[in-house]
Chains A and B, each alone.
Chain A
Amino acid sequence: MAARFSGVLQLTELDDFIAPSQECIKPVKVEKTPGKAAAKIRIEADGSYFQVNQDGEAQKLEKAKITLNDCLACSGCITSAESVLISQQSHEELCRVLALNKAAAAQEQKVVVVSVSPQSRASLAARCSLGLLQTAQKLTTFLKSVHYVFDTTFSRNFSLLESQHEFLRRFQRQAEDKKALPMLASACPGWICYAEKTHGSFIIPHISTTKSPQQIMGSLVKGYFAEQKHLAPDRIYHVTVMPCYDKKLEASRPDFFNQEYQTRDVDCVITTGEVLKLLEQEGVSLSDLDPAPLDTMLGAAPELSTHRGGGSGGFLEHIFTHAAQQLFGIHVGSIHYKPLKNKDFQEVTLERDGEVLLHFALAYGFRNIQNLVQKLKRGKCPYHFVEVMACPSGCLNGGGQIKLEGGSSKEELQRVERLYESPRAEDPEENQAVRELCEHWLGGWGSQRAQEVLHTRYHALERANSALNIKW
């Protein structure tokens, strides 16, 4: 079970031998009236606990409860909690919800929306030996018992554009704010969970507050889309299809829970592999299905599009190009990546007259994240921006992608990459639908709503260091 989360997440304190009471970093607050003297605890035959005071008065003690979300964030005793999570957000859960929904009364029924990530689509296309557009269209047919099937490439436009804006703001205030740069990408939840848990308040100021494409999609579906359809946000059940399991953790973050309507922006995340399981369960082969026209949130989408800059979203590429133009008036045609120690650590530089204007890097995989953070701690990080991803080779190689048979894993990955890059690359700034939504619904990039919809925050997790934690 542990093997399914990204390597970065796994390495955070997983141990089968810890007693939960010692390692749990989520101290549970139980309502208790403070007593003057020590009390005795009596355990009843039915397992309930009673606190017996000195005067003989017995008070039943409340059972300590920890929510699954708390557990997952902590990873202190995740080994058994994991399997609960995985079953709570899985294709089985989706089937269950769909069945329930079908049987429910009309006014109770929810509108089910599925947002598919381009990485998952490429992985499915490779596995089913289909072209990308065909895969998208046939997948839409397969998921017909849901109401809408969207593409998270759309929300990624917002993520990329807002990241560009955020970078410029940070770059311009670097003199007054020592923590403004380097800016570190925030789309990867494996990296975020690791950063919050291991490096906490030191690194959090550096992490971009722009939300990931998944979560922006969540805000758009439960916000804009809900409004368009005259639905309350809790009447929509939003499912996303993602290349990894870490995205399940991201969806369950309290920051992405809408308090007013008591609904999550993303209700359920299923991985590419789980979609395959669904297909197999139904005995359906994707290639046998008829293609259906693609859904869009607004506007017509005649064809698929993608973004430049690799399978992890292209954050480095877009921020670099935009900054070069806006800060230095330099138009960058194509970006040259220079690999460093290994292929998952690459540099990009903008120079003029021998002066380095912009210095960016890609750091994928745990060892590179380690080296990056250590350099940062020693004040030796030369970069303005780093695209950090937990998985070696990026999202196309996520833990939830489909493992292809035959051929080396390198060849398989290249096949998925080629499929991923096959559509026309679009510049987010040129997307009409994005511009319209921004103007009419967000009220402009700098608006209050834009801030709410496009940004989030992070929380350092404090760990108790006590002698009890030592394992000799």
Chain B
Amino acid sequence: PLSPLSPGSGWACRAVLSDAHTRTVRRVAWSPCGHYLASASFDGTTCVWKRHEDGFEVVATLEGHENEVKSVAWAPSGTLLATCSRDKSVWVWEVDEEEEEFECVSVLSAHTQDVKHVAWHPSLQLLASASYDDTVRLYREDEDDWLCCATLQGHGSTVWGLAWERSGQRLLSCSDDRTLRLWQRCDTQGQGSGSEQSWQCVCTLSGYHGRSIYDVAWCHLTGAVATACGDDAVRVFEEVMPASP
């Protein structure tokens, strides 16, 4: 085994934000600009913290989900936030930057079970969600509301995590069914009059994981994919390019 990469000089705990949530904090996410931190909790709320010189302050508490919030994600634009919950819904929130106020823009109830994760497309206003109902769903804005524009079926069990490729062309999902699935859009832009987009599973990685795969991360610098698995291992995958003829 390689020797560990140069160790940092250590980590210091700068803040303990313990008064905002009354139950497990399940997910945290930094805003693209770095000034805000969102925390999603089983208490049904999502707090948005503003970073100051000397600490963090709650600038907004997003309420409305009926029960445990499982995930929160900032859109790359920084003005939208998505949350998802065991109440089967995905909420899209918009921030009014001046007022530092968040308003609910849409409540999407496309999933039929607990929604575990939400992930924004790296550049478009396209949102993906993963659920206990074994599907991944995609949402986009349509006039003054949002709608579900695609349902990705194929996994045989709960989809726990999602990761977009840097270019946004493809999406990876990991599941309790011990597989990774790679999805790609297959209809050309502007084809068809309906709001539905067509996505296909172009690759399924099975047989590598011994247990449920809880998370997947796709490095936007190197293209490498890492997975977190219930079999106590971290795996790293790389796309093998076909040899040139």
Which A residues contact B (CB, under 8 angstroms)? Answer: 7, 10-16, 198, 341-343, 366-367, 370-371, 374, 377, 392, 470-471
Asked if B109 lies at the interface with its beta carbon under 8 angstroms from chain A, I say yes
B103, CB-defined interface residue at 8 Å: yes
Q: Give, as a whole number of angstroms, the nearest-CB distance from B90 to chain A.
A: 12
- Contact B68–A471 (Cβ < 8 Å): yes
Query: Quick check: A12 and B107 within 8 Å, CB to CB?
Result: no
Q: Which residue of B lies closest to A410 (CB)?
A: B143
Asked whether, in the complex, the Cβ of B114 is within 8 Å of the Cβ of A342, the reply is no
List residues of chain B with CB within 8 A of the CB of A377.
Answer: 63
Whether A470 and B68, one on each chain, are in contact in the complex, defined by CB atoms closer than 8 angstroms, is yes
List, in ascending order, chain A residues with CB within 8 A of B86's CB.
15, 471
CB atoms of B107 and A470 under 8 A apart: no
How far is B89's CA from A7's CA once the two chains are assembled, in angstroms? 11
Q: State the CA gap A377–B61 with chains docked (Å).
A: 12
The interface residues of chain A lying within 8 Å CB-to-CB of B103 are 341, 371
Bound together, the chains give a CA A392 to CA B89 distance in angstroms of: 17
> Are B106 and A470 within 8 A (Cβ)?
no
- Please tell me if the beta carbons of A471 and B67 are within 8 angstroms of each other in the complex: yes
User: Which of A13, A15, A341, A471 contacts B144, CB < 8 Å?
Assistant: A341
Chain A residues within 8 Å of B88, by CB: 14
Asked if B66 is an interface residue, CB under 8 A from chain A, the answer is yes
Q: Are B107 and A7 in touch, CB under 8 angstroms?
A: yes
| In the complex, chain A residues whose CB is within 8 Å of the CB of B23 | 470
- Chain B contact residues (Cβ within 8 angstroms of A): what range? 20 to 34
Which one, A10, A15, A342, A343, contacts B109 given CB within 8 A? Answer: A10
A68 to B64, CA, bound (A): 27
Q: Is the CB of B64 within 8 A of A370?
A: yes
Q: Is B42 close to A, CB under 8 A?
A: yes
B149 within 8 A of A: no
A342: chain B residues at CB < 8 Å are 105, 144-145
Give chain A residues whose Cβ lies under 8 Å from the Cβ of B104: 367, 370-371, 374
B87 sits at the interface (CB 8 A): yes
B87–A341 touching, CB < 8 Å: no
The answer to whether A11 and B109 have CB atoms under 8 Å apart is: yes
Considering the chains assembled together, what is the distance between the CA atoms of A324 and B233 in angstroms?
70
CA distance A367 to B144 in the complex (A): 12
A342 to B86, CA, bound (A): 27
Q: A342-B145, A470-B23, A471-B114 are in contact. Are A13 and B107 (CB under 8 A)?
A: no
Residue of B nearest to A344 (CB): B144
* Chain A residues with CB under 8 A of B113: 16
Q: Pick the residue among A374, A470, A471 that contacts B64 (CB under 8 A).
A: A374
- Determine the distance from Cα of A392 to Cα of B147 in the docked complex, in whole angstroms: 14
Residue among B23, B66, B89 with max Cβ neighbours from chain A (10 Å): B66
